[in-house]
Amino acid sequence: MENNMTSTQMLKKKSTLRMPHEKAGVQAVIITVVIFCTVFSFLPLFLTVVNALKTHGQVQTNAFSLPQLATIGEAVKGNFSAAWKEIGPYYFSTILVALVGAVGKVLISAVLAYILTFKNFYFKDFIFLLFIAVLLVPSIIGYPILVPFVRDTLRLGDTYFGYLLPMVGGGQVTGMFLFRTFFSQQPKSLYESASLDGANDVTMFSMITVPLALPIILYHFVGSFAGIYNEYLWASLILGNNMTLMNIMYSVVDNSKIKYGEVYAMYLISSVPLIFTSIISMKYFKSGEFAAGLKL
């Protein structure tokens, strides 16, 4: 890949040739298809926003109709206050837990990846194998053992710590693998000169590795945050159904007496933390450049 990049730079010049797809007719078709797909991708979001502003009856008769100005105030007040009553008590704790978990996961995997990339030691291959072998084992396999282990042996059932610990401890591998691919592409010369200047590993890690790999670290952080925030299965096994947002939301919706407007308001409130992650994603990943080094 590196060879390709350098050849690109060397031969970089503005193409004057006209490609077949650049004809106006073809462009029109392409743009139509792209916009169609984009619009349809917005369907769940559209339904959520529109219906959160309507009353139960209005959603029931027509889910597509826009909110009516006359009822919007009443609907919003009713929907959001009811939704907040359900999920409010665990809202900030869920966000905090996801944040702590994501930070822990990213930090551990980054340090591990640093060691396995830049340190040379005798058992490196063995330890690396020990870690990547885990990628073959789907996490769900271990649950029948992990659940009694966390609940009964460690006695961490119904605690956020018991919820996060296996996720962080077991989730270090994916991150390590991802980071290692990127760390190994960082210029070695930087490390050599830093080393000559007397920098130790901690300095090199925090001053060189992390800044250089910031996009992929953010990518993993955003993914981990969303992953923990969206977690349902593990939460239901360790925390039951009343300690994290997703599980509360599911049990509310699973109830037969749901109020549609209220439910949509709940979705909207629970989306707020992911708005921030989306903004980060938009800023860093729009170009898709991070994908260049992505491989397993």
Partner 1 sequence: MNFNITNKDRKRAKNTCILMAVLFAVFAVLSAVFIFLTPNKQTVKALGENRELIKSQADGATGEDYFMLSDNAIYRYDAFENELISTFPLSTIGDLMQKNSETLLDGSLYKWGMKCVSDGTQTYYVLYDVNGNLFKLTDDGKNLALTEDYSISKDKREIKGCDNVGGDLYILLTENSRFRVNKYALNDVASGVKASKTLWEINDEAEEEDGVIAIKPMNTSTGILAFYATGDMLYVVTGGGNVVKVSSALADCVVNGESIDYFSIIEGDYAVLYEEYYAGYFRELLLEAEQDTYTQVQIETADKQTLVSYYGNLFADKLKKAQSDADTAAKSAAARDAEKNNKKWCDDYKRNRAELYVKEDYVDTSYYATLISGENSVSGIVYSKKSEAFYYTNDADGYLYSVEKSEVDNADHGEYLSNIDVKIEAVKCGDDQKFYNFGNGLSINEFANTLYMRFNNEQVVSIVDINDKANYSVIHTFEGDFDIYSFIGDKDNAVTHVLRQVSKVGLDGARSTELYASTYNPALFAKKTLIKTMMIVCLALTAVSLGVCLWFFAATKSDAVLSKVQIIQRDFKKNKYVYLALVGFVALLIMFCYYEAIGAISMSFFDYTREKPAWIWNNFGNYLRIFNQPNFWLSVRNMLFFLVTDLFFCIVPPLIFAFLLVLIRNKKLSGWIRSLMFIPGIIPSIATMLIWRIGIYGDDGVLNQLIGFFGGEKISFLYNTDYAMGSLIFMGFPFVGGYLIFYGGMMNIPEEYHEAGRLEGLGVIKRLLMIDIPLIMPQIKYIFIMTFIESVQNYARTFILGSSGTVTVVESMYRIMMGTQADYGMASAYATIIFAFLFVAVATNFKMQTKETMGEDL
Site for partner 1 in 152-191 (CB under 8 A): 152, 165-166, 168-170, 172-173, 180-181, 184
Q: Does 296 bind partner 1 (CB under 8 A)?
A: yes
Which residue in 70, 196, 198, 287 binds partner 1 (CB under 8 A)? 287
Q: Does 282 bind partner 1 (CB under 8 A)?
A: yes
Pick 218 or 263: Cβ nearer partner 1: 263
Q: Does 294 bind partner 1 (CB under 8 A)?
A: yes
Q: Which residues, numbered 107-136, are part of the site for partner 1 (CB under 8 A)?
A: 108, 111-112, 115, 117, 119-125, 127-128, 130-132, 134-136
| Greatest alpha-carbon span in the chain | 73
Which residue in 43, 69, 70, 196 binds partner 1 (CB under 8 A)? 43
Q: Which residues, numbered 44-83, are part of the site for partner 1 (CB under 8 A)?
A: 44-45, 47-48, 51, 59-60, 62-64
Measured CA to CA, the distance from residue 19 to residue 225 in angstroms comes to 42
The residue type found at 84 is: W
Measured CA to CA, the distance from residue 266 to residue 259 in angstroms comes to 11
Q: How far is CA 78 from the centre of its chain?
A: 31
**Least spacing, CB of residue 91 vs partner 1, in Å:** 12
Question: Minimal CA–CA distance to 295: which of 129, 184, 169, 210?
Answer: 184
Measured CA to CA, the distance from residue 86 to residue 221 in angstroms comes to 28
Q: Does 96 bind partner 1 (CB under 8 A)?
A: no
Contacts of 84 (CB under 8 A, 6+ apart): 91, 269
For the chain, what's the residue count? 296
Q: Does 230 bind partner 1 (CB under 8 A)?
A: yes
